[in-house]
Structure formats: C-alpha cells, structure tokens
Structure 1
Amino acid sequence: AAGGAGTAGATGGGAGGGAVPAAATSVKIGQPATVDFADKTAKVTTKLEITVTGVEVGSVQDFTAAKLSIGDLGGRTPMYVSYTIKNLGDASLSFTAPDAKFVLFDTTGKKGLNVFTAAAPLPKCTSAKFQGLAKGAEVKGCTIISTPGNTPAAVGYTDLVDPLKLQASWTK
C-alpha cells in the first residue's frame, strides 16, 4: 500500500473490546519476529523478519500541516507504526504490500483501522517500497492506523488465512 494523501479508508473492524488477541509469537517493540507472508494476487509466498521499531501518536494537524486530506477520522487518533521488514525467502516482493497485515490495538482491546492515503507521503510516516525486495534485503517504513483511544497497547501482524488471528505481536 503506497503512502500519501487522499481518502481515509479502513480494513478490518474497529469494534470489539477486551483483551488483545494472543499471537503465536509475542515480542517487545524493537525485537524481530518471523512471520509467513502470502499474496494470492501476486502469487508470492515467503518468510519475513519484521521488527516494529516504534509506535507514535499522531494528530490530524500532522496531515493539515503537510497539506494532506485524510477525510473524517470520526474522532479517532492516527498512530504511526514504524517497522523494518526483511525478506528471508527466495520470492521477490514486487507488487505486494506486506505492511497491509499490520493491526494495532488500544488499551481496551479495540482494533484500529488502517488509514489509506493515495497521493503524496506524510513526512512523519512514509510507507516502504517493496518492489524488487529480494532475499536478504530489508526495507524500513511506517503505516498509519487510527484508534478510538490515544494509547496503543500492541501491534500485531495477522495470520495468512484468518485475519482475526495474529502471527506476531509487539508490545512496549
């Protein structure tokens, strides 16, 4: 998913409450976790080493200062999830978006909504470019997820088959 200005959209649900779902691998922010990645459209499967390097609370003012429109967030808070993704497998990641499988949960267990933007990147949070990411190569990027609260509890990476299950999670 390319970064930039444009429309706000969502994947997944914003509902739910309670605890953050358990993940197959749970680590602290700054530590790597290995996950499986598949893109059925691009017919790519590989293993990735992902390190969530930080979660920063953003603001609508970040977008207006950069002259970017994200539409109405409905009182939700944008969160900037920074990461490093290393391709451990033989498949090239061209025409894939492994960052689309990130999810964020607030302290009440509510899942955030991915904020999709379309034209120019937000200076505080720019998506990675995955084209041609071959075995052993890594890329750094940031994805924007909005939450009902302003305190992030955990970042997750969803399962290949069931987007409600987590392969990995990162907490402070």
Structure 2
Amino acid sequence: MSSISMRKTTLAAAGLAVAGTLVLTGCKDGNEELTPAAPSAPAAQPSQPGGYATPPAGAPSSPAAEGYDGASGAPAGGGGAVATSGQAFKIGQAATVPFTSGSKTGQLALTVTSIEAGNPADLASLNVADKVKGKTPFYIHYTAKNTGTTDLSFTSVGHMKGLLDGGAESDVLLVVGKFDKCPSESLPSGFTNGKSQASCAIALAPTGAKVTGAEYWGDPYNNLNKPAQKGLTWK
C-alpha cells in the first residue's frame, strides 16, 4: 500500500515511522498534518454515546467468524466473488478484495462490523485539540480475514474512511501507536488462510453531523491512475 493521502496515495507498513505520531488528513484534498501524540499515554475514558450503526437485522452477529460474504451471500471461506468497483454492502456483510502489500499479493474478506460514535474528549491524550476542534470522532470497526493462500504477516490493511450522513467524506485521523479507543495494528505473524483480525479507523465529523457509512479505497478500488475506479462502501 502506498501513501497517507486518502485520494492520491497509499499507506505502506514501512511508512508507520515513529510510534506516537498522529496524522490528520482531509480526504478531499489530500492535505495532511503531522503532530506528536502523547507518548504511550492511555486514552481518556469518559462516557460516550453508544454505537451509531449496527449490523442489519438478519446479518450474522459475528461476520468474520461465520464467514458471511456480502458480495454473493455465500460463505466466504473459499474467497467468494471478488467485489467490483463501487459495490455497496450493508454493515455486517463481507467484501472479498484482492490485497497487495509490498511484494505480497493475496486476498482478504473485509467486513465493517459497526460504526461507533465517540466523544471529543476521547482524543484528549493525543494533544491535538487545536486540530480536531469542532469535530466528533467516530470509530469504524472492521475485520480482515485471509481468504487467500499467501501469508500476509506484518502487512497493513488501512484505507478505510468514513462517509457523513449526506454522503461526503469525513476527515480521517491516523494514529501510529497505541490508542485503546480505536486500535489499529498491522496483521500479526502467521496471518495465513482463515486467520482474522479486528481493526479500527477514526473518522471525524463536524459537530452535529454523523458518520453513517464507511469506504474502503485500497488498490484496486482507488482512483490513482484509474479514474473510473470507485471504493467499496458500507452503510
């Protein structure tokens, strides 16, 4: 995966740089800011609103465990049909996607499991109040399951962003280092066929707005040199 710019580049595992670095990106124009986060400080634990979006009725309560494939409605254990550009899924459904990281090429089943409304105070430990003023964090929880034959140990998925209730892209907050409210780590050692890992992406919405959907824009679903390509969405 190549860069941190949500439209123009991709994020590589090697680019995770120094632990404790925070990146705030605006998805529309690709601008970014780097700000040091508090070193290894535990996230604040104030009360917060409950989850905003939940799996739809009839969807498996644990999509990754049950292998539910949103593209075909069939078990995803064998990979299922690969999702097409711009394909839409319901929260709780899995999308089978090709996956490339460095020299590794494989296949994943990605499932957005919930979108949880957070509290601005959650971000206090990151010392970025001036960067997130007037914004509310939303936590996009998703799972990645290896449905291919390649060992994807230590690769990073990422490329997940939020969609506001009107359809516009939200800002994205990337934290390199530990953030308990929304943990996001590279895939572990031994991440072979059938292995799953939960992850999280932080979306920022203007106060009063809500993040009601998510979009995966990893290759080949980004428009880098492929203007006709569109991301996969969950709502």
Find the counterpart in structure 2 of residue 19 from structure 1. none
CA distance in 1 between partners of 2:221 and 2:88 (Å): 18
Which has a greater percent of strand?
1
Find the counterpart in structure 1 of residue 24 from structure 2. 9
Structure 1 residue ranges (4+ consecutive) displaced by more than 3 angstroms after TM superposition: 164-167
Give the TM-score, by structure 2 length: 0.58
Deviations 1:76-116 (A, max 9, x none): 32210001110111222233211x21121102222123212
The structure showing larger relative contact order (alpha-carbon pairs under 8 Å, at least 6 residues apart) is 1
Find the counterpart in structure 2 of residue 60 from structure 1. 120
CA distance in 1 between partners of 2:94 and 2:88 (Å): 10
Matches within 5 A, 1:1-172: 5-10=20-25, 12-13=27-28, 24-39=86-101, 42-64=102-124, 67-71=125-129, 72-98=131-157, 100-121=158-179, 123-132=180-189, 133-148=191-206, 150-161=209-220, 163-164=222-223, 165-171=229-235
**Amino acid in the other structure paired with 1:93:** L
How far the C-alpha of 1:12 sits from its partner, in A, is 3.3
- Answer with 1 or 2: which has the greater Rg: 2
CA distance in 1 between partners of 2:164 and 2:29 (Å): 10
- How big is the alpha-carbon RMSD for the aligned residues of Structure 1 and Structure 2? 2.7
How far the C-alpha of 1:159 sits from its partner, in A, is 4.7
**Amino acid in the other structure paired with 1:155:** A
Distance 1:11 1:85, change over 3 A: farther
**Amino acid in the other structure paired with 2:233:** S
Q: Identity, % of aligned pairs?
A: 26
Give the TM-score, by structure 1 length: 0.77
Which 5+ residue runs of structure 1 have no aligned equivalent? Answer: 16-21
> Bigger shift: 52-61 or 161-170?
161-170
How far the C-alpha of 1:5 sits from its partner, in A, is 4.9
CA distance in 2 between partners of 1:157 and 1:103 (Å): 7
